[in-house]
Amino acid sequence: MIQLKARGVPVNIFQATLAIVTGKEKGQGTTAYASQENGDILLTTDISRNVSQRMVTNIPSLDHLEDGDIIYITTNGTINTLFRTSSPHNSLFITDRCNSNCLMCSQPPRNSDDLDHFFKINSGLISLIPKSTSELGITGGEPTLLGRRFISLLQQITLELPETDIHILTNGRSFAWKQIPQSLSQVNNHRIVYGIPLYSDFYQLHDYIVQSKDAFNQTVLGFHNMARNNLRLEIRIVLHQQSYKRLPDLAKFIYRNLPFVEHIAFMGLEYTGYTIKNNELLWIEPREYENELEEAVLFLDSMDMTVSIYNLPLCLLKRSLWKFTRKSISDWKQKYLDECADCILLDQCGGLFDTSKRHSRYIKAIH
């Protein structure tokens, strides 16, 4: 897994700050400079006795940092990488809070008072991100819990990153209140796509999976309110023991009731977070749902709807589905097993989650 955090000894760091990595040098130790509006901060693997400069010393390694990376340096010497200039998989993290509590959440929500904290960081981060950035994600927790400041961030992005595609992960429940989609439409940014989960055509099953009463009705109403305001929509469906049986029915429900969505993504399970705790409820070998998945995907495709499969290696899918697979796992948590080394389709395969604590026993090289 790609390193996104390091920690050293802070010297004269009296407040947390955003900065851009501006260069590295090799000497007795490795050094880098973090440039920000109040001057440079020296980052070094060396032990320094210079107490007149702002710096973070004794950092185990700076190998993960590159020129142009945007970092957040805290007063305790932690260096968080928030934007990697060489990666297409960058996101703004909005909050740890969520109004759902999904059985398979890979990042379980926390009831923390963090909205102000992350809003300030993200406002500063947006202004530093290169204008040439092709794509940027927005994630959480549930981003819309930010309220009006969520609109403010989208307006800032629209102004400062007008050529950047924006993908927002949200449970979509707040869009049931029509004033929110109306406000979002005023941002007037057609590069924004809202990725919203829908796990069943049956309301009780969706509500059970997300562990929230009335979530299905709110989500479906939200889809329609968003569509009325000409906002771009994607449906995300995580594949597990609770969701797979009704996949063909869900596909027909989407075609009949949500024909305006521009993309439907079927997603393999990330075995971490709540999934480990709910193993008996969720874990299923992909081979056990391959028929339902094939039926759902091929139906939607036959109806001229754009459909993809995320997070599943080719060896776990029927060949009829290979053309729908995408390399979707973020580079910082993507991996391949030793068994994959001799696979002739390795370059075409999206691999596995490095964060997953369990993988299918049927993974094997394709020859």
Which of 64-73, 138-147, 228-237 shows the lowest per-residue confidence on average (mean pLDDT)?
64-73
Number of domains making up the chain: 2
Which residue intervals of the chain are DSSP H helices? 115-128, 148-160, 179-185, 203-210, 215-228, 247-257, 274-277, 279-282, 290-302
Last residue of a domain, one of 33, 58, 82: 82
Q: What is the DSSP string of 56-124?
A: EE--S--TT--TT-EEEE-TTSEEEEEE-TT-S--EEE--S--S---TT-SS-------HHHHHHHHHH
User: Which residues span the domain enclosing 183?
Assistant: 91-353
- Please tell me the predicted confidence (pLDDT) of residue 46: 85
**CA pair distance 12, 251, nearest whole angstrom:** 58
Q: Are residues 54 and 166 in the same domain?
A: no
Assign residue 320 the CATH number of its domain: 3.20.20.70
pLDDT band at 27 (very low <50, low <70, confident <90, very high): low
Q: Are residues 159 and 65 in the same domain?
A: no
Average pLDDT on 146-171 reads 98
pLDDT band at 128 (very low <50, low <70, confident <90, very high): very high
Residue at 26 is within a domain: yes
- Please tell me the predicted confidence (pLDDT) of residue 49: 64
Average pLDDT on 160-180 reads 98
Q: Which structure tokens are listed for 129?
A: 């991100």
pLDDT of 1 > 90? The answer is: no
Q: Are residues 53 and 112 in the same domain?
A: no
pLDDT of 29 > 60? The answer is: no
**CA pair distance 228, 58, nearest whole angstrom:** 55
Q: Are residues 170 and 34 in the same domain?
A: no
Which of 19-23, 50-54, 55-59, 77-81 shows the lowest per-residue confidence on average (mean pLDDT)?
50-54
Last residue of a domain, one of 82, 100, 123: 82
More confident residue, 26 or 204: 204
Residue with tokens 């900065």: 19
- Please tell me the predicted confidence (pLDDT) of residue 28: 47
Q: Are residues 24 and 152 in the same domain?
A: no
pLDDT band at 26 (very low <50, low <70, confident <90, very high): low
pLDDT band at 47 (very low <50, low <70, confident <90, very high): confident
pLDDT of 302-343, one tens digit each? 999 999 999 999 999 999 999 999 999 998 899 999 999 999
Q: Are residues 230 and 255 in the same domain?
A: yes
pLDDT of 347 > 80? The answer is: yes
More confident residue, 174 or 45: 174
Average pLDDT on 352-361 reads 95
**CA pair distance 202, 200, nearest whole angstrom:** 5
CB 138 within 8 A of CB 169: yes
pLDDT of 226-264, one tens digit each? 999 999 999 999 999 999 999 999 999 999 999 999 999
pLDDT of 30 > 80? The answer is: no
Residue at 359 is within a domain: no
pLDDT of 193 > 60? The answer is: yes
Average of per-residue pLDDT values in the chain: 94
